[in-house]
Amino acid sequence: MPPLLYAETPYGRLAYREEGEGPGPALLLCQRFRGTLDDWDPAFLSAISRNRRVIRFDSAGIGGSGGDVPVGLEEMASVVLAFSDALGLPKIDLLGWSLGGFVAQYVALAAPTRIRRLILAASGPGGKAEGPEPHPRVREVMAHPHNGPDDYLYLFFHDSLTSRAAGRAYLDRLAAARDRVPSVSGPGFVGQLKAIAAATGVRDRLGDLTMPVLVANGAHDVMIPAYRSFVISQEAPNAKLILYPDSGHAFLFQYTDCFASEIDHFLTP
């Protein structure tokens, strides 16, 4: 486990870890709802940091970071930019998973010259839903005070033997990690929920995402149906879409090597 580092920003002291090195811009990771910087799959981190510098961080009010959870996704995007400023990163590549993907779109729209390439994993444009809705059980499971293994398997992986086996392996890898930052607190959870509920989405601005965009999802995502990834790929002018079979919201931890290879190809200058 790389050491826990801190960056001072106007939004508080933000915790981060980094691994890997390479000649191109650093790849900054924006985490999911209720996730911390230590909830990224160690196998995924190892795979994507072989040829580049990868930085994962906790936004304000989350995990190991100080400050308060921002009241909206625009403010969360401002935290990302302030964190990049604190690390002296004028241009970055940006990967957002789930909620992190929503935030990453706001970042790219607010500061398009600072984002070289954008990766959106299991995300959508937000706002008014189109196509299939999340499974009715999703809201119930997400509202549990603490999500156990069965919750994670349902929310993140497809209901098949192979996908659930991949999910258990992912949970085992997380359980083996030591010196983790604190889990998301109750106030942090509520703050994120309020910010998500207040968001109007960026569907009408997807055409402004003119940088290269890689969009990916699991074909059986029960939380953010893959159709919403398809919408991004149709509206963003330089977007490529990949859907992975027999997988869900955490496809990136099931098809780790395959997706890491796509990321490497996409980010290589």
What pLDDT score was predicted for residue 155?
Answer: 96
Contact criterion met (CB below 8 Å) for 126 and 113 = no
61-76 b/e (C-beta count within 10 Å ≥ 16 → b): bbbbbbbebbebbbbb
> Is pLDDT at 131 greater than 90 in this prediction?
no
Q: Is the per-residue pLDDT at 107 higher than 90?
A: yes
Q: What is the β-pairing status of strands 54-57 and 12-19?
A: antiparallel
Average pLDDT rounded to a whole number, residues 49-58: 97
The set of residues, in sequence order, having a beta carbon less than 8 Å from that of 136 and lying 6+ positions away, is none
In this prediction, residue 144 carries a pLDDT of: 84
Please tell me the total count of domains within the chain: 1
pLDDT above 70 coverage of the chain, percent: 100
CA nearest neighbour of 196 among 75, 111, 82: 75
pLDDT (mean) for 53-66? 98
Output the pLDDT for position 101: 98
> Would you say 216 and 252 are in contact if contact means Cβ atoms under 8 Å apart?
yes
Q: Is the pLDDT of residue 17 over 80?
A: yes
Does the pLDDT at position 128 exceed 80?
Answer: no
Residue percentage of the chain with pLDDT more than 90: 90
Average pLDDT over residues 189-195: 93
pLDDT at 130 over 80: no
Using alpha carbons only, give the angle 65, 254, 137 rounded to the nearest 5 degrees: 75
Tokens at 57, concatenated: 């961080």
Q: Where residue 136 falls among pLDDT bands split at 50, 70, 90?
A: confident
According to DSSP, the β-strands at 27-30 and 12-19 are: unpaired
Structural domain of 234? 5-267
What's the rounded mean pLDDT across residues 228-233? 96
Provide the pairing of β-strand 92-97 with 115-121.
parallel
- Give me the mean pLDDT over the 146-173 stretch: 96
Q: pLDDT class for 241, splitting at 50, 70, 90?
A: very high
For residues 84 and 28, what is the distance between their CA atoms, to the nearest angstrom?
9
- 48: domain CATH number is 3.40.50.1820
Mean pLDDT score of the chain: 96
Residue 143 clears pLDDT 90, i.e. is over it:
no
For residue 135, name the pLDDT band (cuts at 50, 70, 90).
Answer: confident
pLDDT of 132 strictly over 90: no
Mean pLDDT of 2-13: 97
